[in-house]
Chains A and B, each alone.
Chain A
C-alpha cells in the first residue's frame, strides 16, 4: 500500500469541504441505489419520488423543513461539544429531557403573556437539556469518566426516567397511553399553515412551525459563540490542545462543562419544535433518533454552521422523501431508509478518509500543474 502524503496547506478549502463530502454522499447514494434495486424497485424512480416528495408540493416541502429544524438543533449540539473535542453522543437524551423542560414551563406559566411563555419555554428546554449534559460533563472533567460512555448511558437513563414520569407522574389521567395532556391552544407556536393563511394561501397541515426560525437563529448563535467570543476561543483551545490551554491559564474543567452544557441545551431545543410546535404534549419516545442522526449531520457539515445547514436539509429531504418512497413502493420499508441514513453516516463519518487523500492529492497535482504551465 502506498502512502499518499498531501501537504494540507496546499489543499484548497473547497476540495476538503465541498468536493470530498459530495463524493462520499454520492457513493452512499449509489450503494443505497443498489439496495433498492435488489429489493426489486427501480432506483431512478425512487430518486424521483424522493425529490417529488420533498420538493414537489408545498406540504411536502414544509415537512422537509420541519425535519431540517430538528437536525439543525441536534447537529449543532454535537458540533459545539466537538469543538472542545467532546463526543456528545447524548443528544437523544438531552432532547428528551429538554422536552420535559418546555412542557413544565409552558404548562405552569401559561397564564403569562404568550411571547413570554414562549421565551421562558425555550429557556426551559435549553436549561433542562444543559442540566442533563452537565452530569456527564462534570464526571468527565473531575473524574475522567469518558463522555462517550456516560452520555450513552444517560440516553438510557433519560428514556427510563421519562417513561416513569409519563406513566406515573405526568400522564394525562383521562386515558391510558404514556403521554401528557395537551398544552392550552393559545400558547402553541404558530404553524406554517397559519402563516400562509394570513397571506391568503390555503395549504394542508404540516408540522412546520415558528421553531424553524429559532433553528436558523441557533446557527448564527453557534457561529458567533465559537468564532467571535473568548468563550468559544477557550473552548477550541482546550479541544485542540489541552496542554497548551493549561499553559495559557485556560481551565479545561470549566470549558468542558460550558461546552457540554451549551451542547445539551441546543439538543434540548428539539423539544421546542416537537412540543410547543407540533404535538403540544410529551409523548413517549418523541426524540425518535434525531439526536443520533444529528451526529451524522454535524460530521457531514464539518461541525460548522454553514455546513450543518445543508447537511440538516439533506437529511430532511431523506426523511420526507423516504416516507414518500415507502408509501409508493411496497417493497421498500421504512427500515430501508434507516439503512440509507446508515450508509450516509458510514461514508461521510466512519469512512470519511477513505478517498480524501486521493481526492486531495489529485486536486493539488492538477492545480500545481496549472500554475507551472
Chain B
C-alpha cells in the first residue's frame, strides 16, 4: 500500500455564513494525476487555495508525506513542494521567461553567477520534459499555451513535487491541450504528482487515474477513473442526471436578416483585427464562430453591436444599412431595432458588478417605459419586473436588491441573458455564453438559445468552447487572425478539423 503524498483530513472553511468547504477528506497518491471536478462554486478552488496557502482552513489538517504541516502562505507551500498554476497567469508581460521564473527567488542583488546557474538548470528542465521554450523570449510575445508552460516551469524550478492546475485548458486550442497533456503525462512518469481542477468531464476521462467530485462544498465521492464514465460523474456533480447533449430539432431557416459585407475593424491600438469579413445569418439559424481567443471575435462582435466603429465595409439588418465607416447606430438604437447582445466578458461589459441585481436587469433598457418615465426611475415597477424575470430564468437567489458581484458566475450570466432575451430580439449576438458557468446553468442557457432560434431569431454565437459551438450551431465559421478561414455546415465536421483551422494551419 502506497502512502499518499498529500492527505487532507476534515478540512472546513467558511466565509461568513457560507461554508465553502465542509469536512473535506482527500488522499492523493504520489505519481498520479488526480482530478477534482465540480461545478462552479462547488469549493474546488477554495480547497486548492488552502493547499497552496492562500487561505487558512478553519479546522482540519494537511499532511504531506505523512507529516503534519502548517501552511500559512504560498511561500510555505512552495517550500513544502506544492506548486500551483492559476487560471489567470501570474506573469510580468514585459519580462523574459527567465526573469519571470526567478522573480522572487533571484538570490542576489546584482545578477551574475546565480542567474547563469538558474538558466542552466532551467534549460535542463526544459529538455527533460520537452517544454520547447526559449528562456530569453519576452512573455508578451508568447502564445497562451506557452505562457502556461512558463507557469508550470516556474513551479518545477521552485521544487514542486505536487502541481495543482486550476482549469488549465480554458484558454487553449485542442492542439495546445494535447501538448499540455503530453507534458503532464511525462511529469507524472517522472514521479511528480498532479492535481487537475476542472469542470470538463472529457479531460478527467482522458488524463486522470483517480477523480474526486465536489458538490456544494462537500466531497461527494472518490473513484478510480476507469470505474466510472462521463454520465455518472456529471450526475455526481450536479446531484441529478444531466442532459449532456443539447436536445435540438431540425431548424426552419427563413430569410437572411443580418448581413455583413467586407467588414474590417480596428482595435483601440489602431491594429486591424477584423479583415474583410463576410457573413450572413438567416432567421431560425445559429451561426457559430469558432476560434482561439484574440483572433478578432471580440472586435467583430463589438462592431456588430454598435460599440466599435467600422473601418470599412458595412452591416445590414433587415436589408437596411446600419453601419459603415461614416456612420453607425449606437447600441441603444440597435436594441430598438431588435438586435440584442450578450457580451463575451460579463464583468467588463455585460453588467456592473457593484450595482444591485435589479439595476443590472434593466441595464440598457433603463430609459424605456415602464422602467422610467421622463427622468424618474420607477422603482416599484423595476423591482416587480426583476423579481418576476429572476424567477423565470431561475436566478438564484431571487433577491433583486442583492449586489450583483454576490451572485455566482452562472447566475450573473442568467441576469444578462434574461435581460437580453426578454425583449424577443430578432438578431442575437452572443459571446462566450457559458464561460465560467456551471453545468446546470449551461444546460439552461443552451436550451434558452435553442428556444430563441426556434422562435425565429438569427443568432451569432462566438465561443472558444468547441463543444458548445458543435452542439448548438447549425453552421460554423472559423476565425483566425481576423479572417474567416473556413465555413462548414455542422454535419460531419469534427473538432479535429476545426482545431486545425483555428490554429491557422489548414
B346 → chain A, closest Cβ, in Å? 9
Q: Does B110 contact A (CB under 8 A)?
A: no
Query: Digit string of B361-397 for contact with A (CB within 8 Å is 1, else 0)?
Result: 0011011000010011101000000000000000000
Given contacts A230-B376, A233-B377, A237-B363, contact A249 B349 (CB under 8 A): no
Say which one of B14-22, B234-242, B246-254 lies at the interface with A: B14-22
The answer for the CA separation of A231 and B366 in the assembled complex, in Å, is: 10
Decide if A246 touches B307 in the complex (CB within 8 Å). yes
Interface residues in B339-370 (C-beta closer than 8 Å to A):
341, 343, 348-355, 359, 363-364, 366-367
Q: Indicate which residue in B16, B348, B366 contacts A364 across the interface (CB closer than 8 Å).
A: B16
Which partner residue on chain B sits nearest A7 by CB separation?
Answer: B15
The answer for the CA separation of A248 and B359 in the assembled complex, in Å, is: 12
Decide if A240 touches B352 in the complex (CB within 8 Å). yes
State the interface size on chain A (CB cutoff 8 A).
Answer: 28
Q: Indicate which residue in B14, B364, B379 contacts A248 across the interface (CB closer than 8 Å).
A: B364
A-side residues, CB < 8 A to B, are 2, 5, 7-10, 228-231, 233-234, 236-237, 240-241, 243-244, 246-251, 364, 367-368, 371
Decide if B331 touches A246 in the complex (CB within 8 Å). yes
Given contacts A9-B406, A10-B16, A230-B372, contact A244 B359 (CB under 8 A): no
Counted as pairs of residues, one from A and one from B, with CB atoms less than 8 Å apart, the total is 87
B16 → chain A, closest Cβ, in Å? 3
The answer for the CA separation of A248 and B367 in the assembled complex, in Å, is: 11
B12 → chain A, closest Cβ, in Å? 11
Collect the chain A residues with CB atoms within 8 Å of residue B355's CB.
236-237, 240
What are 30 A-B contacts defined by CB distance under 8 Å?
A2-B73, A5-B55, A7-B15, A8-B405, A9-B405, A10-B15, A228-B376, A228-B379, A229-B376, A230-B366, A230-B377, A236-B355, A241-B352, A241-B353, A243-B348, A244-B349, A244-B351, A244-B352, A246-B349, A247-B305, A247-B364, A248-B331, A248-B332, A248-B363, A249-B364, A250-B364, A364-B16, A367-B16, A368-B14, A368-B16
Collect the chain A residues with CB atoms within 8 Å of residue B306's CB.
249
Collect the chain B residues with CB atoms within 8 Å of residue A2's CB.
72-73
Query: Taking each of A7, A228, A233, which has the highest tally of chain B beta carbons within 10 Å of its own beta carbon?
Result: A233
Decide if B366 touches A233 in the complex (CB within 8 Å). yes
Given contacts A237-B363, A247-B341, contact A229 B375 (CB under 8 A): yes
Decide if B349 touches A243 in the complex (CB within 8 Å). yes
Interface residues in B1-52 (C-beta closer than 8 Å to A):
14-18
State the interface size on chain B (CB cutoff 8 A).
Answer: 41
Collect the chain B residues with CB atoms within 8 Å of residue A7's CB.
15-16, 18
Q: Indicate which residue in A5, A236, A249, A364 contacts B331 across the interface (CB closer than 8 Å).
A: A249
B-side residues, CB < 8 A to A, are 14-18, 54-55, 72-73, 305-307, 330-335, 341, 343, 348-355, 359, 363-364, 366-367, 372, 375-377, 379, 403, 405-406
Decide if B341 touches A9 in the complex (CB within 8 Å). no
Collect the chain B residues with CB atoms within 8 Å of residue A371's CB.
17
Which partner residue on chain B sits nearest A10 by CB separation?
Answer: B16
> Which 6 residue pairs across A and B have the least CB separation, nearest first?
A10-B16, A249-B332, A248-B364, A249-B331, A7-B15, A9-B406
Collect the chain B residues with CB atoms within 8 Å of residue A364's CB.
16
